[in-house]
């Protein structure tokens, strides 16, 4: 099976190294991560001003359900294979642990029959999800004390109880968790061997933030670029702009353009598409036309100026594609001004560009720094 269709849970209580191991294992294997937001991120927007250990049973239930919903959505988006930092069971286990142990190890805090009934019901929901959606469970036992960083408001007694709850729950669902120990590299070696994972040799990776999903390449999401519409086809186009007419009195410029595809342009349903003007072509062509106008009225050449700075852009498509790519009319109307900043002079312009009679319309703001001789 390789790495495909393996939906791996990194299980463990607070402070056992789940997040670090999830990130590094993804880097090693190229399997995307499913990292739900932590309670400390959900808490401020749900119950502003409260600490997690101050939440009552109803509030804990809300937090758990919110995180469970976000986790399910993340896992669904990478269902063909993922590594999950924690699991749906973890949302339930914290609340259940509070019920029987208390967050700070001072005995049970949440004892009402209503809370117990609600927590048991929530437990059945997350257990059903876990059984149906995970294929492998890797469990990290408590090997070192909990860092006192203020983000994990629980006692060592609670950690031990939560560890017991998780292991018992996994086994009740038919899983036999793979227990791994040691540092990150030792743990990864055990997991790769136990699950027969293929290792990626090309992965570049930075640790994913909570609430994000990591992929090695965009192609892992979008598919083979050779089989996608357009994809990299914009690179295989040459723009031949000719018959350029600059009209300073009307603050306008016009020209004709030929679009010359070179090589593969786009495919759809496995068949080549007829080339036509794309939004990228429209931006590049109109930008060059505006630049030609500005250089002309300033009497400058490219070698003595900085790059054109695109400050703002909006684009509207036409009523139908421009498929006749020879001798297409293009035009731009500009409104220019000059400003001084830090002893330098800048030429700024707002322009409206048009491609074809009913084609693209572009509104943009551009500018460039004038050479010192004009300052």
Asked whether residue 207 carries a pLDDT value surpassing 50, the answer given is: no
Do 209 and 266 lie in a common domain? Answer: no
**pLDDT > 70 in the chain, percent:** 89
Q: Average pLDDT of the chain? A: 85
Asked whether residue 9 carries a pLDDT value surpassing 70, the answer given is: yes
Q: SS3 string of the chain?
A: CCCCCCEEEEECCCCCCHHHHHHHHHHHHCCCEECCCCHHHHHHHHCCCCCHHHCCHHHHHHHHHHHHHHHHHHHHHCCCCEEEECCHHHHHHHHHHHHHCCCCCCCCCCCCHHHHHHHHHHHHHHHHHHHHHCCEEEECCCCCCCCCCCCCCCCHHHHHHHHHHHHHHHHHCCCCCEECCCCHHHHHHHHHHHHCCCCCCCCCCCCCCCCCCCCCCCHHHHCCHHHCCCCCHHHHEEEEEEEEEEEHHHCEEEEEEEEEECCCCCEECCEECCCCCCHHHHHHHHHHHHHHHHHHHHCCCHHHCCCCEEEEEEEECCCCCCCCCCCEEEEEEEEEEEEEECCEEEEEEEEEEEECCCCCEEEEEEEEECCHHHC
Q: Quick one: pLDDT at residue 250?
A: 95
Asked whether residue 206 carries a pLDDT value surpassing 90, the answer given is: no
Q: Give mean pLDDT, residues 202-231.
A: 64
Its domain, for residue 262, covers 226-374
5-14, 181-190, 302-311, 362-371: lowest mean pLDDT where? Answer: 302-311
Do 154 and 250 lie in a common domain? Answer: no
pLDDT, one tens digit per residue, over 26-77 is 988 889 998 888 887 888 889 888 887 788 778 888 999 999 999 999 899 8
Do 189 and 250 lie in a common domain? Answer: no
Which of 222, 246, 261 corresponds to the end of one domain? Answer: 222
Asked whether residue 166 carries a pLDDT value surpassing 70, the answer given is: yes
Do 161 and 259 lie in a common domain? Answer: no
Q: Quick one: pLDDT at residue 239?
A: 92
**Is 20 a member of any domain?**
yes
164-173, 186-195, 222-231, 250-259: lowest mean pLDDT where? Answer: 222-231
pLDDT, one tens digit per residue, over 225-256 is 777 777 778 888 889 999 999 999 999 999 99
Q: Give mean pLDDT, residues 155-180.
A: 92
**Is 79 a member of any domain?**
yes
pLDDT tier, 319 (very low <50, low <70, confident <90, very high otherwise): confident
Sign of CA dihedral 324, 325, 326, 327: positive
Q: Quick one: pLDDT at residue 289?
A: 94
Which of 169, 197, 222 corresponds to the end of one domain? Answer: 222
Do 251 and 120 lie in a common domain? Answer: no
Which of 197, 222, 247 corresponds to the end of one domain? Answer: 222
**Is 370 a member of any domain?**
yes
91-100, 204-213, 362-371: lowest mean pLDDT where? Answer: 204-213
Pick 234 or 322 by higher pLDDT.
322
CATH code of the domain in which 129 resides: 3.40.50.300
**Is 277 a member of any domain?**
yes
Do 184 and 314 lie in a common domain? Answer: no
Do 266 and 128 lie in a common domain? Answer: no
pLDDT tier, 204 (very low <50, low <70, confident <90, very high otherwise): very low
Q: Quick one: pLDDT at residue 88?
A: 93
CATH code of the domain in which 317 resides: 3.10.129
pLDDT, one tens digit per residue, over 100-146 is 665 555 545 556 788 788 888 999 999 999 999 999 999 999 988 77
Asked whether residue 203 carries a pLDDT value surpassing 70, the answer given is: no
**Is 1 a member of any domain?**
no
**Is 346 a member of any domain?**
yes
Do 238 and 368 lie in a common domain? Answer: yes
Q: Quick one: pLDDT at residue 130?
A: 96
pLDDT, one tens digit per residue, over 83-104 is 999 999 998 988 787 766 655 5
Give how many domains the chain has, as a whole number.
Answer: 2
pLDDT tier, 2 (very low <50, low <70, confident <90, very high otherwise): low
Q: Quick one: pLDDT at residue 147?
A: 61
**Is 347 a member of any domain?**
yes
Q: Quick one: pLDDT at residue 110?
A: 54
Do 197 and 261 lie in a common domain? Answer: no
Do 16 and 162 lie in a common domain? Answer: yes
Do 31 and 129 lie in a common domain? Answer: yes
**Is 2 a member of any domain?**
no
Q: Quick one: pLDDT at residue 354?
A: 95
pLDDT, one tens digit per residue, over 282-297 is 999 999 999 999 999 9
């Amino acid at each position: 099976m390789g790495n495909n269709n393996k939906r791996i849970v990194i299980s463990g209580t607070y402070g056992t190294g789940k997040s670090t191991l999830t990130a590094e294992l993804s880097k090693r294997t190229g399997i995307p991560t499913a990292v739900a937001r932590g309670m400390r991120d959900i808490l401020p927007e749900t119950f502003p001003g409260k600490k997690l250990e101050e939440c009552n049973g109803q509030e804990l239930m809300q937090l758990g359900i919110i995180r469970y919903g976000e986790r399910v959505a993340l896992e669904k988006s990478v269902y063909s294979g993922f590594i999950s930092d924690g699991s749906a069971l973890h949302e339930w286990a914290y609340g259940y642990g509070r019920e029987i142990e208390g967050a700070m190890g001072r005995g049970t805090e949440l004892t009402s029959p209503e809370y117990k009934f609600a927590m048991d019901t929530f437990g059945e929901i997350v257990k059903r999800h876990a059984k149906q959606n995970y294929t492998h469970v890797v469990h990290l036992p408590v090997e070192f004390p909990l860092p006192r960083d203020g983000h994990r408001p629980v006692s060592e007694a609670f950690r031990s109880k939560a560890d017991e709850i998780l292991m018992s729950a996994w086994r009740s669902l038919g899983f036999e968790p793979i227990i791994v120990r040691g540092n990150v590299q030792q743990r990864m070696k055990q997991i790769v061997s136990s699950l027969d994972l293929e290792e990626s040799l090309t992965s570049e990776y930075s640790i994913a933030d909570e609430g994000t999903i990591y992929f090695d390449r965009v192609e892992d999401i979008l598919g083979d670029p050779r089989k996608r519409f357009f994809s990299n086809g914009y690179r295989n186009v040459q723009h031949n702009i000719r018959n350029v007419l600059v009209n300073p009195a009307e603050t306008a410029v016009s020209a004709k353009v030929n679009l010359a595809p070179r090589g593969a342009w786009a495919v759809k349903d496995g068949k080549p598409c007829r080339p036509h003007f794309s939004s990228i072509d429209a931006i590049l062509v109109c930008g060059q036309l505006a630049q030609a106008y500005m250089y002309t009225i300033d009497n400058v050449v490219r070698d003595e100026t900085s790059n054109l700075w695109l400050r703002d852009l909006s684009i509207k498509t036409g009523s139908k594609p421009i498929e006749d790519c020879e001798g297409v009319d293009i035009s731009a109307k500009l409104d220019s001004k000059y400003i001084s900043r830090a002893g330098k002079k800048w030429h700024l312009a707002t322009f409206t560009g048009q491609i074809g009679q009913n084609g693209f319309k572009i509104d943009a703001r551009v500018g460039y720094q004038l050479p010192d001789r004009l300052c």
